[in-house]
């Protein structure tokens, strides 16, 4: 396998991977590339049967079930991404972190697209490590002390009605997460607020919360934190929701774009401030 970094901060393409026959050491290399580059891409793949995609995703951990989206018949772990001429909404058409409203949001998402528009339909990914790193130390210090509410009622209610989902009896998830989370594998701090699900910052007035969130959203969207993926048929993207936000551009209407998405279950995000002080404590105990 060959690893081609795509920008200095985020994204790499992995060439020559046979996902149907991966050895343990090849999987370990993919896992390491995923930790180093936050999103990895595979081109020139066959269309993966749903059970093969599910089996590959399971190597990263237990799978996550989406709280709202319709799934593929017989494969409850597979969320069908589909936009076409009659669609009222297209998934991911705005900056977001997948299902950050869950108390335990998905660790990673794996998407393979089978049908593509003739042009357009790119997905943009942004590094939330870079977003945090480039804030001033004073603002970083302030953010490290804060939590924010993530809600989904406004996102999901009625969203999939045109795909036969009746959600009148459902309650959609909400959660309170630290604004700066420690990545459980790399230990690095990542900014964890997004304009789709984050609604307010705990302990600030509504005006303060709105202004600070706007500042952070504007900052997160700087192009130097991004990689933009132009899909080829059956390409696969695997992104780390703990340190990446993404935006699936719906610039191809009325054309069709379709594929299968599987998400891997994550843990409750940990505050970077607490993770940092625990690390310091462990270090001082060892000295
Ligand atoms: C999503 O947000 O999961 C959709 C991403 C995409 O369609 O590129």
Helix (H, G, I), strand (E, B) or coil at 256: coil
| DSSP strand pairing (71-72 vs 39-42) | unpaired
Q: Provide the pLDDT for residue 276.
A: 79
Is pLDDT at 281 greater than 80 in this prediction?
no
- Provide the pLDDT for residue 163: 86
Helices (H) and strands (E) in the chain, counts: 7, 17
Q: How far apart are CA 144 and CA 180, in angstroms?
A: 6
Task: Give the Å distance between the CA of 279 and the centre of ligand 1.
Answer: 35
pLDDT (mean) for 33-58: 96
96 is catalytic: yes
Q: What is the pLDDT of residue 287?
A: 61
CA–CA gap between residue 58 and residue 80 (Å, rounded): 18
Averaged pLDDT for residues 184-207: 97
Structure tokens at 135: 């804030």
Tokens (6 digits) for 90:
């297209």
Structural domain containing residue 106: 2-286
Q: Number of folded domains in the chain?
A: 1
Catalytic residue, from 37, 96, 183, 242: name it. Answer: 96
Mean pLDDT score across all residues of the chain: 95
Catalytic residue among 98, 159, 257, 273: 98
The tens digit of pLDDT for each residue in 92-128 reads 999 999 999 999 999 999 999 999 999 999 999 999 9
For residue 79, which atom of ligand 1 is closest to its CA? Answer: 3
- 92 touches ligand 1 (CB under 6 Å): yes
Which tokens hold the place of 42?
Answer: 């595979």
Residue 263 has pLDDT above 80, yes or no: yes
Cis previous bond, 265, omega within 30? no
Which residue has its alpha carbon closest to ligand 1 atom 2? 92
Share of the chain above pLDDT 70, in %: 98
pLDDT tens per residue across span 50-89: 999 999 999 999 999 999 988 999 999 999 999 999 998 8
Q: Is the CB of 111 under 6 A from ligand 1?
A: yes
Averaged pLDDT, 262-281: 88
Distance CA 241, CA 100 (A): 9
Closest ligand 1 atom to the C-alpha of 123?
Answer: 8
- pTM for this one? 0.95
pLDDT over 90 percentage in the chain: 90
The answer on pLDDT for 246 being more than 80 is yes
Locate the ligand 1 atom nearest the alpha carbon of residue 229 and give its number.
8
CB of 106 closer than 6 angstroms to any ligand 1 atom? no
CATH number of the domain encompassing residue 101: 3.60.130.10
CB within 8 A of 1, min separation 6: which ones?
14, 15, 16, 17, 26, 29, 30
- pLDDT tens digits for range 124-140: 999 999 999 999 999 99
- CA distance readout (Å), 95 to 123, 170, 196: 10, 25, 7
Buried b (16+ CB within 10 A) or exposed e, 170-184: eebbebebbbbbbbe
Cβ–ligand 1 distance for 180 under 6 Å, the answer no
């Amino acid at each position: 396998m060959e690893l081609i970094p795509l920008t200095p901060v985020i994204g790499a393409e992995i060439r020559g991977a046979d996902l149907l026959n991966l050895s343990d050491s090849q999987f370990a290399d993919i896992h390491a590339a995923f930790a180093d580059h936050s999103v990895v891409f595979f081109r020139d793949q066959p269309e993966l049967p749903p059970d093969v995609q599910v089996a590959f995703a399971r190597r990263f951990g237990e799978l996550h079930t989406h709280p709202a989206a319709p799934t593929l018949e017989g494969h409850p772990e597979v969320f069908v991404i589909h936009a076409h001429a009659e669609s009222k909404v297209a998934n991911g058409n705005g900056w977001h972190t997948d299902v950050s409203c869950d108390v335990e949001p998905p660790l990673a998402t794996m998407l393979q697209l089978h049908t593509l528009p003739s042009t357009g339909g790119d997905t943009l990914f942004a590094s939330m490590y870079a977003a945090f790193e480039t804030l001033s130390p004073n603002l970083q210090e302030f953010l490290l002390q804060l939590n924010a509410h993530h809600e989904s009622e406004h996102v999901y209610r009625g969203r999939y009605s045109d795909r036969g989902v009746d959600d009148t009896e459902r309650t959609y998830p909400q959660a309170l997460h630290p604004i700066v989370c420690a990545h459980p594998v790399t230990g690095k701090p990542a900014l964890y607020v997004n304009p789709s699900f984050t609604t307010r910052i705990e302990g600030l007035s509504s005006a303060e919360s709105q202004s600070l969130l706007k500042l952070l959203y504007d900052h997160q969207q700087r192009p130097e934190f991004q990689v933009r993926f132009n899909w080829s048929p059956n390409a696969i993207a695997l992104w780390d929701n703990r340190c990446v936000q993404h935006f699936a551009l719906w610039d191809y209407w009325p054309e069709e774009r379709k594929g299968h998405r599987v998400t891997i279950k994550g843990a409750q995000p940990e505050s970077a401030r607490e993770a940092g002080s625990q690390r310091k404590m462990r270090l001082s105990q060892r000295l």
